[in-house]
Amino acid sequence: MTFWHALHRLWAYLALGISSVLTEEAAPLIGGLAAHDRKLGVVPVGIWIAGGSWSGDIVLYYLGRWRSKWVRHRWPKLRAYVLRAFKVVRRHPWRASLAVRFAYGLRFTLPIACGAARVPLTLYLIASAISALVWSFLFTAAGWWFGQWMLHVLGRVRRYEQPLFALIVVVLGIVFWIMHKRHVEEETVHVLSRGDRADDAAKLPPAEEL
């Protein structure tokens, strides 16, 4: 492997890791496709994307714990979603921290709520790291297997491989962008809070603190 080839791969891994915060599932799926095409390694793709998404979740936790007033003034509409998740986080800090990568519609607000609810930092770091690793390798594997299926379907039609690969990447990006725009906060909170029998003794903090 030449120096420039290694540098190109490093840049690709870095781009996937950083972009995973915003593109969400599209990043590991595209990374899995690239790994199947032998442009990248499947394990490094999973690790870099997990690291990128985990870093984003830590930043959001920090914003909720130490910069909640700034968040409230910067994004006033976000406060309502944080309040919805807050009581659930107080009841189930471990479950909520594990759900940060799988909480569709709450991926930005749930980590902020974990910070605002003062979830212990060590607990949050461990649980969110597990969540990021499982999520990353799950969708990276899905992308790899999708590439395997496409190769089986295409058979020997190799001349269309590059245009089809580009088309798949674009389609996946559009599909998951649409999924990202859908708001399913109520369903996520319901799933997280399933099994509750009574109200938690913990109360919401004053409104000015969130």
Q: pLDDT band at 183, cuts 50/70/90?
A: very low
Q: What is the mean pLDDT of the chain?
A: 76
What are the tens digits of pLDDT across the range 60-117?
999 888 877 776 677 677 677 777 778 788 888 999 999 999 887 778 888 988 998 8
- For tokens 């674009």, the residue is 170
Residue 203 lies in a domain: no
Instruction: Give Cα 47 distance to the centre of its chain.
Output: 13
Report d(CA 158, CA 202) in Å as an integer: 61
Residue 78 lies in a domain: yes
Cα four-point dihedral sign 47, 48, 53, 56: positive
Q: Which among 107, 112, 111 has a CA at the least distance from the CA of 127?
A: 111
Q: Between residues 21 and 130, which one has the greater pLDDT?
A: 130
Residue 94 lies in a domain: yes
Residue 177 lies in a domain: yes
The predicted model gives 131-157 an average pLDDT of: 77
- How much is the pLDDT for 200? 45
Residue 194 lies in a domain: no
Token pair for 17:
């890791």
Report d(CA 141, CA 115) in Å as an integer: 31
Q: pLDDT band at 185, cuts 50/70/90?
A: very low
The answer to whether residue 9 scores a pLDDT higher than 70 is: yes
Amino acid at 138: L
Residue 147 lies in a domain: yes
Q: What's the chain's Rg over C-alpha atoms?
A: 19
Q: pLDDT band at 12, cuts 50/70/90?
A: confident
| % of the chain residues with pLDDT over 70 | 66
Q: How many domains does the chain have?
A: 1
Residue 198 lies in a domain: no
- Residue 57 sits in which domain range? 15-189
Residue 124 lies in a domain: yes
Q: What are phi and psi of 182, to 5 degrees?
A: -75, 140
The answer to whether residue 186 scores a pLDDT higher than 60 is: no
Cα four-point dihedral sign 94, 99, 105, 106: positive
Report d(CA 90, CA 179) in Å as an integer: 28
The answer to whether residue 29 scores a pLDDT higher than 90 is: no
